[in-house]
Amino acid sequence: MRPSARRPDQLRPLRFTPGFTTQAEGSVLAEFGETRVLCTASVEERVPPFLRGRAQGWITAEYGMLPRATGERTPREAGRGKQGGRTLEIQRLIGRSLRAAADLTQLGERTITLDCDVIQADGGTRTAAISGAWIALRIAIQGLVASGKLPQSPLKRQIAAVSVGVYAATPVLDLDYAEDSSAETDMNVVMTDAGGLIEVQGTAEAAPFSRVEMNAMLDLAAHGIEQIIAAQRAVFSE
């Protein structure tokens, strides 16, 4: 039995609220159960130094957690003077995943920054961030196309992400904090709407995992991502 009484293959209630804030070119509040991540997309008409003059754009991400998004207060990274290893690892993952969704040569010499800020954390913040960031990115790109700044969308794939794991010897989908903190294995999976794998990051927490378990987790991830993909689409068909 999962702490949340969900079935092993059951996602938490999923909600995307586009336009949650109004200043950014794209904005969405992504909620996976009690996990809430605000994703905004900011368009800037310049590229980082290493890309200047290369006739292409850039997509990057930053991740943050409000100090009291967690059960105990986490010291503010701005006050400590640096971003921790976990933060840097997560924002590198989000950025890579989003870049895999677009053709940067069709973006023009501009940068889109996806800021993913965790308002409340209950496990799976990085996968919620990726799933939400794709929506914010698409909203921003639609704006660029609508305003004539881009002739067509450089988005080439839809992507979404979910966490899976082995909890109490059972492969489960979309772990909340109670499961995540005592899971034997933890895996984050990013996939496209066509079922292609973009990122797989699996970690044995308590014991090594087998190829059989890995396959079961990947099956669960594919099953969950299919539903997240549908929920992302619903945002745009409304």
Interface positions, 189-218, toward a second copy (CB under 8 A): 191-192, 194, 196-204, 207-211, 214, 218
The answer to whether 36 is annotated as binding is no
227: contact with a second copy by CB under 8 A: no
- Separation CA 77–CA 86 (nearest Å): 11
Instruction: Kindly state whether residue 22 participates in binding a second copy, applying the rule CB under 8 A.
Output: yes
> What is the rounded distance in angstroms from the CA atom of residue 145 to the CA atom of residue 235?
18
Cβ partners under 8 Å of residue 92, min gap 6: none
Q: How far apart are CA 5 and CA 24, in angstroms?
A: 37
Angle ∠(141,22,49) on CA atoms, nearest 5 = 50
The verdict on whether residue 211 carries a ligand-binding annotation is: no
> Among residues 33, 57, 64, 123, which is the contact residue for a second copy, using CB under 8 A?
64
3-class SS of residue 69: coil
- Token readout for 157 is 């794939």
Q: Is 86 annotated as a binding residue?
A: yes
Interacting residue with a second copy among 100, 104, 145, 178 (CB under 8 A): 100
Cα–Cα distance between 170 and 140 in angstroms, integer? 40
Binding test (CB under 8 A) with a second copy, winner from 51, 104, 119, 145: 119
**Three-state SS letters, 191-202:** EECCCCEEEEEE
- Least gap, CB of 196 to a second copy (angstroms): 2
Tokens describing residue 96: 């890579």
CB neighbours (10 Å) of residue 217?
Answer: 24
Q: Which stretch binds a second copy (CB under 8 A): 4-12, 48-56, 80-88, 167-175?
A: 80-88
Residue 125 known to bind ligand: yes
Residue among 25 and 151 whose Cβ is closer to a second copy: 25
| Feature table: binding site for phosphate | 86, 124-126
Residues in contact with a second copy by CB under 8 A are 21-24, 27, 34, 36, 38, 40, 42, 44, 62, 64, 66-71, 73, 76-79, 81-89, 91-92, 96, 100, 113, 115, 117, 119-121, 157, 187, 191-192, 194, 196-204, 207-211, 214, 218
